[in-house]
Amino acid sequence: MAGSRTWALVMNGVRARVLRGVENMDGEDQIELLSRAPSTHLRDILSDQPGRSFSSDRSGRRSAMELGSDPVLRDMQDFAGDTAGMLEKHRRAGDFQRLAVFAEPRMLGIVRNEFPATLWATVFLELPLNLVSLPERQLRDRIKELINRQT
């Protein structure tokens, strides 16, 4: 794919859209890859409660234990890691050389932590915007506008 040197990642906590060939957005041959996080309901995560513990003194009182981490954050980190893995494979294959990242603010921070340095080195633009729900034509136009404004 020598013609599609620039890709754009549009992402929120549960959905990612990757637009290939951003520099050729005027044509209809634009290819979009879609990815969704596995659907996990918070009630399913929380149904496995951590339990109760005995107090450290001899009173025998018991108290509830707290969850060790934020399960929604963990899911977002896993999704960002999976997306990074997919993009890294394409980067190594030479499918793109530049990447623009548009993600809702919390997810952008997670993406920064989950992307390997080799992939992050291709990022030429990062903006805290949630554009995932835009229709395809509007998304292409908005990305083109944002990239042209920055370059």
Domain ranges of the chain: 6-41+68-150
Per-residue pLDDT at 103: 97
Per-residue pLDDT at 105: 96
- Whether 91 contacts 119, CB under 8 Å: yes
Give the whole-angstrom CA distance, residue 132 versus residue 9: 9
> Along the chain (151 residues), what's the average pLDDT of each consecutive run of 10 residues?
77 92 65 65 57 57 61 89 95 96 96 96 97 92 92 68
Per-residue pLDDT at 67: 55
Strands 6-11, 98-103: parallel, antiparallel or unpaired by DSSP? parallel
User: Each residue of 94-107: pLDDT tens digit?
Assistant: 999 999 999 999 99
Per-residue pLDDT at 1: 43
Per-residue pLDDT at 115: 96
Q: Which amino acid is at 2?
A: A
Could you write out the three-class secondary structure of 20-66? ECHHHCCCCCCEEEEEECCCCCHHHHHCCCCCEEECCCCCCCEEECC
Give the whole-angstrom CA distance, residue 36 versus residue 13: 9
Query: What are the tokens at 141?
Result: 């136009």
Per-residue pLDDT at 21: 85
- CATH for 6-41+68-150 is 3.30.420.60
